[in-house]
Structure 1
């Protein structure tokens, strides 16, 4: 089910949005101030945020800016405001809004915008998760899992894994991975082997089927199966 957060300090508008979107099949959480909104965003995962600009506590522009620059979340945001000047709209987009709706608005227009943004977001998400067999890598959250188990990896291992998954089932040259990690400043020793060893311990060692394969004298590859 699609989960939407509505942030609006006008109780009548908030109630109308909640009831209307709930009838359309969405799960709706509500906040009537900026601090409550920030708390919900930090503790829940939302598919969309409908965000009023003028809020008590923390305003909508600050929330959106924090969402993009501090929390590094890509959750789509539709901003609501009574301000209809071009400068106000530009300010909203500059702070990370995906769409902008001026009050008063028709609920049917809001619904069309909600559906359009969710379609774009879902299409984008299809390209943001890499998968090789039961090994998954979400590029939005930088989270890795295998067979449903969460795997914690360090930044270097994440870089290697992403490259290997994007190339799978083809081989990635050793030199390509070294350049990915160190650029032109290559280490004196074969540090890549150590990183591969640590990565293999995380994504392969606990499991019967091995995915990370060494192609001796050339590089490495990830495979979906051993057939």
Structure 2
């Protein structure tokens, strides 16, 4: 993993803790060094400070996503605790964030969480799921619309896979945090922003319906027919 922060104490404490946890850790003290490491070494997860010199964590995250790199989960570290700031990080393409001060143990738990794959055992899923022009490969963790690849982060893919395999079932944001993120608590805006990003990337192929006051569901074909009947009756 990569930890990029201009605070030497944060870098060293986090590095020592995560190395004891069995991880191979590279460190950077600014955005320029982080960018070099991202381009020259294998990084399975990047932990980026939002306010470090050079390209900051937000800029690096946006750069990765705009370049089409959705394979590296990003956790942002921020001293800003306002909801707008947290949402800005998630909308930049981050998978998660932590507000300073934080415990190394919590960071380690978040790292393991973003590295965890599929919210359901692959053996229980078909190798490929097709809904209209949307094709989801469960093993390769790829998504196509009319044969064109759609770049999703690991968390976006997990959310899509969970919803599409639980058609017409409403889940609250708390339930999605528990079953997709595997968190027993957390900021519910994390779910809201990921749903927004997923809808945007899937465009007309998304079937994510907001059930006001309850949560979200992936609308199935039966629901489509019910809507068509309702429209005809009107």
User: 1:90 aligned to 2:87?
Assistant: yes
For the residues of structure 2 that align with 1:35 and 1:77, how far apart are their CA atoms?
Answer: 16
Deviations 1:158-203 (A, max 9, x none): 99xxxxxxxxxxxxxxxxxxxxxxxxxxxxxxxxxxxxxxxxxxxx
User: What corresponds to 2:135 in structure 1?
Assistant: none
Q: Secondary structure at the match of 2:25?
A: strand
Equivalent pairs, count:
135
User: What corresponds to 1:49 in structure 2?
Assistant: 46
For the residues of structure 2 that align with 1:44 and 1:110, how far apart are their CA atoms?
Answer: 22
1:18 positional shift: 0.7
1:138 positional shift: 5.8
More strand by share: 1
Q: Secondary structure at the match of 1:101?
A: strand
1:54–1:108 CA distance, 2 compared to 1 (3 A): same
For the residues of structure 2 that align with 1:35 and 1:122, how far apart are their CA atoms?
Answer: 33
- Following TM superposition, the consecutive aligned residue runs of length 4 or more in structure 1 with deviations greater than 4 angstroms are 137-140
Structure 1 vs Structure 2 CA RMSD = 3.0
For the residues of structure 2 that align with 1:37 and 1:123, how far apart are their CA atoms?
Answer: 30
For the residues of structure 1 that align with 2:14 and 2:81, how far apart are their CA atoms?
Answer: 20
User: 1:73 aligned to 2:70?
Assistant: yes
1:72 positional shift: 2.4
Gaps of 5+ in 1: 131-136, 141-157, 160-227
1:57–1:139 CA distance, 2 compared to 1 (3 A): same
1:42–1:122 CA distance, 2 compared to 1 (3 A): farther
1:123 positional shift: 6.5
Gaps of 5+ in 2: 129-138, 143-147, 150-234
User: What corresponds to 2:100 in structure 1?
Assistant: 103
User: What corresponds to 2:112 in structure 1?
Assistant: 115
Q: Which has the higher contact order (CA 8 A, sep 6+)?
A: 2
Paired residues of 1:68 and 1:74 also in contact (CA < 8 A): no
> Matches of residues 1-227 of structure 1 in structure 2 within 5 Å?
4-119=1-116, 121=117
Q: Secondary structure at the match of 1:27?
A: coil
Q: What is the TM-score when the length of structure 2 is the normalising length?
A: 0.51
Q: Secondary structure at the match of 1:78?
A: strand
1:102–1:30 CA distance, 2 compared to 1 (3 A): same
User: What corresponds to 1:212 in structure 2?
Assistant: none
